[in-house]
A and B are shown apart, each in its own frame.
Chain A
Amino acid sequence: MHLQRFMHRRRKDADLAEEMSAHLAFEEDANTARGLQPKEAHRQARLRFGNPQTTREQVWRYRSIPWLDDIARDLRFVIRSLAKTPGFSIIAILVIAVGIGVNTAVFSVINTVLLKPLSYPDPQALVQLMNSGPRGSFPGANVPKYNIWRKQTSVFQQVAGYDFGGAGLNLTGGDHPQQVQGIHVTSDYFAMFGAPLIIGRSFTAAEDSPNGGRNVVLSYSLWKSRFGGNPNIVGTPIQIDNQPYLVVGVVGRSFVTDPVGDLWLPFQFDPNSHDMAHYFTVAARLKSGITIQQANAQLKLTAEQYQREYGGAPASQEGFSVISLQESIIGDTRYSLFILFGAVIFVLLIACANVANLLLARASVRKREFATRAALGAGRAQIIRQLLTESLALSLTGGLLGLIVGFVGLRLLLNVSPGGIPRLGEDGSAVTLDAHILIFTLGISVLTGILFGLVPAISASRTNLAATLNESSSRSGLGLRSGKIRSGLVVTEMALALILVIGAGLLIRTYLKLQAVDPGFETHNVLTMAMSISGDRFQKSANVDQIIRDGTDRLKALPGVANAAAGCCLPLVGGFGVPFDIVGRPKGANRSTGGAGYYSVSGNYFDVFRIPVLRGRVFTDRDNAASPNVVMINETMAKQYWPNGDPLKDRLLTGVGMGPIFAEPARQIIGIVGDTHDGALNETPRPTMYFPVAQMPDAETALNSRVAPLWWAIRTKGDPHDVVASITAALRDATGGLPVAHVLTMDEIVLHTTARQRFNMLLLIIFGASGLLMAAIGVYGLMAYSVQQRTQEIGIRMALGAQASSLRNMVIRQGMTLALLGVAVGIAGAFWLTRLLASLLFGVTAWDPAAFLATPFLLTAVALLAIWIPARLATDIDPMTALRSE
């Protein structure tokens, strides 16, 4: 009610004014009726009524809310006073906008990645099942594990397995075969994620069993793009890998999965399988009321059961556990996001110190204004309130601008550099402006407004009335105290900026080191592409070997192609790992525990990538199914397992203990090749084995074909992009119409593997640069102000014959003392803080001498530049003007 009165008082006041003038008219009428002359009638009426203005004011005041009125008045005053010094206001607002902008940008990423719940019903209950061991946890499951987990109905409501659609599937049956991501899922999958099926249904348990038929659920986007949103799609057969599949349902657009799928197929694995290969992951929905701890306690028992039944290695202390699905999707992104958040808070603090400094300078100029106001009866609280209103007006304006700057800036950045951050969507599309971000920005604006406004406000309100009014000019500052505060702020700014720039320097060094890593192969002029061979046609190794031969023959005949190879895997894209035994050695000491990388490739592979053959030979066409099994190993494996002996004399037994499909006779080691970086550039090469495709056991090939695509690698004579069209056409012809996807040059793949580091580096460079710029503005502002304050002193000195150069040196000395103090504090702080960066670094230590030497040098140089300008100005002062400046 009160507030309503307040809001409507302007309209009501107009109403009242009109009402009162009507009253006067009535009175005049009455007076005229009594026989008075019109003029007298008017006068008498006025006289009787009294002052209408007073009445209006009285009603107005009764309708007002005092503190709101005060704020409005302060605000009007503040806007007037800020408009009087537009230069100051604009700089302050821009500095705050940058500070708040970068915070908003990073927070909006944190919001999307870490804070927003997954878009499934009751997402907190969704967990990812993990294999936990002494060397950390990893997701992944085989059929026996899935069977055991699924029986834990006391803790899980649903358990579902799904793979990553790695191989891709080919949608055939049209003019344009298309490769799609087909994810294999168990029958509980859709119910567990609460997938909205807009047409049809999900899979039944019967469909998700061996011989359960060929059924498929389509994603919304595939349904729209490939099938024109046909509402009668359910029951229609479609062609996948030249086999007819029946569409049973379509899920709604809102169903987002990680990994993204175009369509889903029933898993249909044999429930009695003893296959030990981990080729899918398992998630579960906790029963309501069950905590993760309770689930973990239960799973501990199941791990023991698994080891009893399937004879996993008890020595490895492998166990099962769950983590929240969101946690598992976020992974280690959390850490680097927190580092970035820390960095932007530094930027904001620098911005605050800067604006506080500007405000202090301004407050000292306005000292007389405050003294006058105080003399007119304004209390200390009122002056503080006015100054805080001023700083809040600045910070809120800056915040609004920062919201725009931060958000637009982030979109641009995400477009340029998708850093492989989970949950961000295509080009960061999932980062949207929402209430969280608005509240964050508003909150941080208010907080910064108070932070940078409070010290100047308190300091200004302490003004000694009489002394100030008696002072002859506006020359005097706020005295020693404020000078110390301002110097302290500049030192802080320099220190914070130095830490930021050192951090940026370390990430730059990391990136350069990554660039300098020799990947072990030649990345230039190699084109790669993935082909799904998931159909029944490629269950046999001979068939896979055949299309590789056909394909590479066809490709090598193309103009512009130097050589071509194909295989399960590519360098940097990575492959699988299997355990191995060296025939004739006792198990134990030399038995591999982590296994070795396991690549089945065509013999040209080493030539295409120019991987050097160190000893022995590479395999050829003659190493086929009929000839004795052979294997090649990399240098790391040779050094690790044959520190003194000769690997070429030994044979390997691979896949021991991994189940029947991996069982195979021993293989002779025939060659040693150089190491390649297969995980990522910042990982050391691991022991790796290479097999000829033709000599793979069929069962392994069938599994491979199902879970991973066949990768083609083509060494071109010129720019790989020039031959993409002819290569994809040739491959389609050679393979009977199979399409390829993920057409990338090896250079592009290298670039992708360092995208995250580049993204981190780019952000920290931006933060460091803005911090440095602000710190420079801070030093400049302080010195320029101090020179201006001392105009008279400098004038006198010059009049007395002081040399311009000595005056300049005095100013520089003063400024540099502060700057160097800041640098010293910053170095100490950086030593303490950069260890937090350690896990993001590669090839440099957190105390990298180069960064710790170069950065202070850079900062000192920038500070010197910022100080030099005011120092020049000092000596430009004309002594006579200075003396008269009183």
Chain B
Amino acid sequence: MGPKKAAAGDILQGTLDMLILRTLVTGPAHGHTIAQVIERTSENALEVEQGSLYPALHRLEDRSLLESEWGISDNNRKAKFYRLTPQGRKELIAVTGRWRHMIRAISLILGEASE
């Protein structure tokens, strides 16, 4: 199976939520696209487990961070499209900020900070 990939599910739960929100900044997308975009953008370092993806999407929707709507995809298939809500956008900014903070903190501890 090649080099060991980190499954998104292995990372903190909040991370997958953040990645989904980030993916949707560029526009609405359905679950399959979201998974592909995350995988491709991470140069296949992160493989999104479908089993985690859908619970995450529904959870985000229940928290009103996402909205969904059934629509037709590029290849003429019926699919459920997710879109960021204004609240989702705010949340993305907040969690990204926290994430950056954390990376910096961890980097400091590891002594790899390059200010």
Binding site for B on A (CB under 8 A): 1, 5, 12, 15-16, 18-20, 22-23, 25-27, 29, 48-52, 54-55, 58-59, 62
A-B contact pairs, 16 of them (CB 8 A): A1-B62, A5-B62, A18-B80, A19-B54, A20-B54, A22-B31, A22-B79, A23-B31, A23-B50, A23-B54, A26-B32, A50-B50, A54-B51, A55-B54, A59-B54, A59-B55
Given A5-B62, A25-B77, A29-B75: A19 and B31 interface contact (C-beta under 8 Å): yes
Complex: how many Å from CA A22 to CA B35?
13
B59 located at the interface, meaning its Cβ lies under 8 Å from any Cβ of chain A in the complex? yes
Asked if A50 and B30 make an inter-chain contact with CB atoms under 8 angstroms apart, the answer reads no
Give the residues in chain B near A12, CB-CB below 8 Å: 58
Contact between chains at A58 and B75 (CB < 8 Å): no
Is B98 among interface residues, defined by CB-CB distance under 8 A?
no
A12 to B73 CA separation, bound complex (whole angstroms) = 21
Chain A residues whose C-beta falls within 8 Å of the C-beta of B79 in the assembled complex: 19, 22, 26
Is the pair A59, B51 in contact by a Cβ cutoff of 8 Å? no
Q: Which of A22, A48, A51 touches B30 (beta carbons < 8 Å)? A: A22
> Which residue of B has the minimal Cβ distance to A29?
B75
- Interface positions, chain B 51-68, Cβ under 8 Å from A, are 51, 54-55, 58-59, 62
Task: Out of B32, B58, B75, B78, name the residue touching A27 (CB < 8 Å).
Answer: B32
Residues of A within 8 A of B49 (CB): 50
Bound-state CA distance A49–B54 (Å) is 11
Extra contacts besides A18-B80, A27-B32 (5): CB < 8 Å: A12-B58, A26-B73, A49-B50, A54-B51, A62-B55
Q: Which of A18, A25, A48, A59 contacts B50 (CB 8 A)?
A: A48
Residues of chain A contacted by B33 (CB below 8 angstroms): 26
> What is the size category of the interface that chain B forms with chain A?
10 to 19
Cβ B50 vs Cβ A26 within 8 A: no
Residue of A nearest to B34 (CB): A23
Question: Which residues in A have their C-beta under 8 angstroms from that of B73?
Answer: 26
Q: Is the interface of B mostly helix, strand, loop or mixed?
A: helix
Instruction: Please state if A58 and B51 are interface contacts (CB–CB under 8 Å).
Output: yes
Cβ-defined partner of B59 (8 Å) among A18, A50, A62: A62
CA distance A58 to B32 in the complex (A): 19
Query: A-B pairs with the 3 shortest C-beta distances?
Result: A26-B32, A19-B80, A49-B50
Pairwise interchain contact A50-B51, C-beta atoms closer than 8 A: yes
Inter-subunit contact B58/A16 (CB<8 Å) = yes
Bound-complex Cα distance A12 to B80 (A): 12
Least CB separation from A49: chain B residue: B50
Q: Residues of A contacting B54 with CB < 8 Å?
A: 16, 19-20, 23, 55, 59
Tell me if B77 and A55 are in contact (CB < 8 A): no
* Bound complex: CA A23 to CA B80 (Å): 9
Question: How far does the Cβ of A18 sit from chain B's closest Cβ, in whole Å?
Answer: 8
> Which residues of chain B come closer than 8 Å to A15, judged between CB atoms?
80
Q: Which residues of B contact A25 (CB under 8 A)?
A: 77
Distance between B45 CB and nearest chain A CB, rounded to angstroms: 17
Q: How far is the CB of B86 from chain A (nearest CB, A)?
A: 18
Interface residues of B in 64-108 (CB under 8 A from A): 73, 75, 77-80
CB distance from B60 to the nearest CB of A (A): 12
Closest Cβ of chain A: how far from B24's Cβ, in Å? 16
Q: In the complex the two chains form, is A20's CB within 8 Å of B50's CB? A: yes
Cα distance A15–B61 when bound, in Å? 13
Given A19-B80, A26-B32, A26-B79, answer yes or no on A55-B62 (Cβ-Cβ < 8 Å): no
1/0 contact string of B7-37 vs chain A (CB within 8 Å):
0000000000000000000000011110000
- Shortest CB-to-CB span from B68 to chain A, Å, is 9
Q: Is B55 a contact partner of A58 (Cβ separation < 8 A)?
A: yes
Q: State the CA gap A770–B106 with chains docked (Å).
A: 79
A26 to B74, CA, bound (A): 11
Residues on the A chain within 8 Å of B62, using CB = 1, 5
Cβ contacts under 8 Å, B59 to chain A: 62
B50 / chain A contacts, CB cutoff of 8 Å: 20, 23, 48-50, 52, 55
Q: For the complex formed, measure the closest distance between the CB of A20 and the CB atoms of chain B, giving whole angstroms.
A: 6
A19–B58 alpha-carbon span in the complex (Å):
11
A252 and B49 CA atoms in complex are apart in Å by 73
Given A19-B31, A26-B32: A55 touches B75 (CB 8 Å cut-off)? no
Bound-state CA distance A25–B78 (Å) is 10
